């Protein structure tokens, strides 16, 4: 599939994958492993595909070109979803030079234990591939691995960005247009929230560095999902906003429940928010029914998160523990929260969740809302009033 001039997409669309990284990233819309072929005086392959598609990838590439004409392979990130086709490919064309960062060399050696022909590059290094066509390498350390890198192709003005600007989407139409833009931005934001949030400070600095090069960028070709053949400024500006203290006028209520009491609190808090401020967006999310990634995406968007669990064994439910662990790991910036939950006799859950959130850098904005046993009418009223208070604080 032609991207621009002599650049073609040679990746794989994975329509059926529903969980990625083991079970750690939900991909209800599938994903793609984007690899690109540049055929100038020199022929260059940028990245490969997930290991599970290695043979299909090589076969498909063989049907496109004589593999022996590939002069260079650029590997921008060693994670298996991008480097997983290397071994099968190099069985056909051993010793083909691989251009990558030093950290990526360590990753590839660690993954494959093979004596590849490494050519190490740093930011600012270039590789001439034809008249007016040069690859310019840009290290993208910790965006999101130490080995990550982007590559700018002069002449065609294409930025190959690997994971950055990507989306987990499998699509027949690879190119961004006005019809699929909204979905691409939503999925790019989910990707940012779940993968890049801990590195926002570095992301912001990297965006500035990219702008300081004054490259013309007509196309952003990421490692997953749609290719930004249009709306390039829009996705770059979105990243700039997301890498700051991002939030929307949105409250998310996240809970798990044992005998429905904590669910009743969650639903009545939401009713109170809606009654106070009909224009404030609010979602109620059951940890057991919504993927952790969608919940993290919701937290990323939120002005306030409310987290509820009943008390069990002097603590909170293990499902909530997993969620809190991920919140801590993602190091969200400037987030606010409060907690709620039912209990029978000891009632530690809400305080413990609050402590965990405080240690994760989240500001606690309100006393916990608790209910001894199942919420009665008074408690339901109290939950609705709690919701009204949260709505006011979300607008403050
Ligand atoms: Fe798409 Fe970090 O791998």
Could you give the CA distance from residue 225 to residue 306 in angstroms, rounded to a whole number?
32
**Tens digits of residue pLDDT in 43-93:** 999 999 999 999 999 999 999 999 999 999 999 999 999 999 999 999 999
Could you give the CA distance from residue 321 to residue 324 in angstroms, rounded to a whole number?
5
140 alpha carbon – ligand 1 mean position (Å): 13
Residues lining ligand 1, Cβ inside 6 A: 77, 79, 81-82, 144, 163, 223-224
264 alpha carbon – ligand 1 mean position (Å): 39
The predicted pLDDT at position 254 comes to 98
Angle at 376 between CA 373 and CA 380, to 5 degrees: 110
Task: Determine the atom of ligand 1 nearest the C-alpha atom of 166.
Answer: 1
Task: Determine the atom of ligand 1 nearest the C-alpha atom of 145.
Answer: 2
Alpha carbons within 13 A on the beta-carbon side of 78: 22
Could you give the CA distance from residue 63 to residue 390 in angstroms, rounded to a whole number?
59
Mean pLDDT in residue range 348-355: 98
Could you give the CA distance from residue 26 to residue 24 in angstroms, rounded to a whole number?
7
Task: Determine the atom of ligand 1 nearest the C-alpha atom of 195.
Answer: 2
**Tens digits of residue pLDDT in 175-226:** 999 999 999 999 999 999 999 999 999 999 999 999 999 999 999 999 999 9
- By C-alpha distance, which of 130, 122, 138, 175 is closest to 155? 130
Task: Determine the atom of ligand 1 nearest the C-alpha atom of 33.
Answer: 1
- Whether the pLDDT of residue 347 is over 90: the answer is yes
Which residues have CB under 8 Å from 187's CB, separation 6+?
29, 167, 168, 169, 225
pTM: 0.96
Which residues, listed in sequence order, are joined to residue 38 by a DSSP beta bridge? 7, 44
Atom 2 of ligand 1, residue of closest alpha carbon? 79
Could you give the CA distance from residue 146 to residue 277 in angstroms, rounded to a whole number?
44
135 alpha carbon – ligand 1 mean position (Å): 21
Query: What angle in degrees, to the nearest 10, is found between the helix axes of 261-276 and 377-395?
Result: 50
Band (24; pLDDT cuts 50, 70, 90): confident
31 alpha carbon – ligand 1 mean position (Å): 11
The predicted pLDDT at position 241 comes to 98
Share of the chain above pLDDT 90, in %: 96
């Amino acid at each position: 599939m032609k991207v621009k001039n002599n650049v073609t997409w040679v990746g794989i669309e994975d329509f059926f994958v529903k969980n990625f990284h083991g079970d750690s990233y939900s991909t209800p819309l599938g994903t793609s492993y984007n690899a690109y072929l540049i055929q100038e005086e020199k022929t260059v392959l940028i990245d490969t595909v997930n290991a599970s598609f290695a043979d299909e990838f090589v076969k498909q590439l063989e049907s496109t070109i004589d593999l022996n004409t590939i002069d260079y392979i650029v590997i921008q990130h060693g994670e298996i979803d991008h480097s997983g086709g290397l071994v099968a490919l190099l069985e056909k064309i051993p010793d083909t030079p691989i251009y990558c960062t030093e950290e990526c060399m360590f990753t590839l050696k660690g993954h494959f234990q093979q004596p590849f022909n490494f050519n190490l590059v740093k930011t600012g290094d270039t590789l001439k591939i034809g008249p007016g066509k040069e690859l310019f390498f840009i290290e993208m350390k910790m965006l999101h691995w130490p080995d990550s890198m982007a590559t700018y192709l002069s002449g065609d003005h294409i930025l190959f960005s690997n994971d950055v600007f990507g989306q987990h989407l499998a699509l027949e139409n690879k190119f961004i247009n006005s019809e699929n833009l909204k979905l691409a931005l939503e999925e790019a934001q989910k990707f940012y929230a779940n993968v890049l949030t801990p590195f926002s400070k570095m992301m912001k600095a990297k965006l500035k560095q990219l702008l300081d090069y004054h490259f013309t960028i007509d196309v952003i070709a990421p490692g997953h999902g749609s290719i930004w053949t249009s709306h390039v400024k829009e996705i770059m500006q979105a990243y700039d906003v997301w890498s700051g203290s991002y939030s929307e006028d949105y409250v998310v209520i996240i809970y798990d429940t044992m005998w429905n009491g904590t669910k009743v609190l969650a639903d009545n808090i939401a009713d109170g928010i809606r009654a106070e401020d009909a224009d404030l967006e609010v979602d109620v999310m059951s940890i057991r029914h919504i993927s952790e990634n969608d919940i993290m995406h919701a937290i990323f968007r939120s002005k306030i998160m409310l987290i509820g669990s009943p008390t069990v064994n002097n603590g909170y439910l293990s499902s909530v523990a997993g969620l809190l662990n991920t919140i801590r790991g993602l190091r969200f910036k400037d987030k606010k929260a409060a907690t709620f939950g039912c209990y029978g006799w000891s009632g530690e859950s809400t305080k413990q969740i609050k402590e965990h959130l405080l240690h994760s850098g989240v500001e606690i904005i309100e006393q916990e809302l608790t209910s001894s046993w199942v919420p009665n009418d008074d408690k339901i009223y109290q939950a609705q009033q709690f919701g009204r208070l949260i709505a006011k604080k979300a607008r403050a």
